[in-house]
């Protein structure tokens, strides 16, 4: 399938968690609006966040496995050798940049933009965007497909079931205000 606009994006942990952001991002990826990537390092951080929240290890393992099973080509491997040579304001985020370089990504999607220095990313042809900015860009590029993905996400929503407007409120609550407002305008 040929797509007129195709980005490869590495998701930072803070985009994978909370679930409301992850769901929309992954539904957009499922609809081929972009190519999603992550690494074992990113999944490991996500697992630590879930552990701190008291989520049982069996559930953590299930969530990580399901995400990897749903996107079998998303896992970036053999990036670890790049980490030591990278410089970022937060050295703990170098693994994310290393995965993006190895994946030949266009973008790092993160809600910690201050941790990804623009000048450092530019050396590798990368930039970072917040989840809200990234998702509004994706919607802007393909309104119909993005709305279709959103509607299917809502239709598949369980525990608890929500209508589209309740999901939009949830997206606003987790910082996706522009995204939710854009989708609301398209409904």
Question: Could you read off the pLDDT of 134-149 as tens digits, one per residue?
Answer: 999 999 999 999 999 9
pLDDT at 159: 80
**Does some domain include residue 105?**
yes
Q: What is the pLDDT of residues 153-175, one digit of tens each?
A: 999 988 888 999 999 999 999 99
**Does some domain include residue 1?**
no
Are 97 and 116 a contacting pair, CB within 8 Å?
yes
Q: Which residues contact 20 (CB under 8 A, 6 or more apart)?
A: 167, 170, 171, 173, 174, 176
Q: How far apart are CA 9 and CA 128, in angstroms?
A: 9
CATH for 111: 3.40.50.1010
Looking at residue 7, the DSSP 8-state letter turns out to be: -
Confidence of residue 7 (pLDDT cuts 50, 70, 90): confident
**Does some domain include residue 146?**
yes
SS3 106: coil
Q: Work out how many domains the chain is built from and give that number.
A: 1
Tell me the average pLDDT across 40-57.
96
Assess whether pLDDT exceeds 70 at residue 93. yes
Assess whether pLDDT exceeds 90 at residue 68. yes
Print the domain residue range for 132: 8-186
Tell me the average pLDDT across 82-105.
96
**Does some domain include residue 61?**
yes
Q: How far apart are CA 117 and CA 44, in angstroms?
A: 23
Tell me the average pLDDT across 16-35.
95
Q: How far apart are CA 168 and CA 98, in angstroms?
A: 33
Confidence of residue 96 (pLDDT cuts 50, 70, 90): very high
Assess whether pLDDT exceeds 90 at residue 26. yes
**Does some domain include residue 157?**
yes
pLDDT at 128: 97
**Does some domain include residue 2?**
no
Please give the C-alpha separations between residue 83 and each of 97, 154, 168, in angstroms, as whole numbers. 8, 38, 37
Assess whether pLDDT exceeds 90 at residue 1. no
Lowest mean pLDDT of 91-100, 129-138, 154-163, name the range: 154-163
For residue 8, the cross-strand partners are 35
Confidence of residue 2 (pLDDT cuts 50, 70, 90): very low
**Does some domain include residue 3?**
no
Q: Which residues contact 52 (CB under 8 A, 6 or more apart)?
A: none
Mean pLDDT of the chain: 94
**Does some domain include residue 155?**
yes
């Amino acid at each position: 399938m040929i797509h007129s606009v195709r980005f490869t994006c590495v998701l930072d942990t803070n985009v994978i968690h909370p679930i409301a952001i992850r769901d929309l991002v992954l539904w957009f990826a499922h609809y081929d609006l972009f190519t999603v990537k992550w690494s074992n390092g990113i999944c490991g951080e996500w697992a630590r966040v879930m552990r701190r929240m008291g989520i049982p290890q069996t559930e953590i393992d299930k969530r990580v496995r399901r995400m990897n099973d749903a996107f079998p080509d998303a896992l970036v491997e053999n990036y670890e050798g790049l980490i030591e040579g990278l410089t970022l304001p937060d050295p703990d985020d170098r693994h994310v940049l290393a995965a993006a370089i190895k994946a030949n990504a266009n973008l790092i999607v993160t809600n910690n933009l201050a941790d990804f220095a623009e000048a450092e990313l530019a050396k590798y042809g990368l930039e970072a965007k917040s989840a809200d900015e990234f998702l509004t860009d994706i919607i802007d590029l393909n309104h119909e497909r993005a709305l279709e993905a959103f509607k299917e996400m809502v239709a598949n929503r369980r525990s608890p079931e929500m209508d589209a407007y309740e999901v939009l409120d949830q997206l606003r609550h987790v910082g996706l205000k522009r995204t939710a407002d854009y989708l609301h305008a398209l409904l």
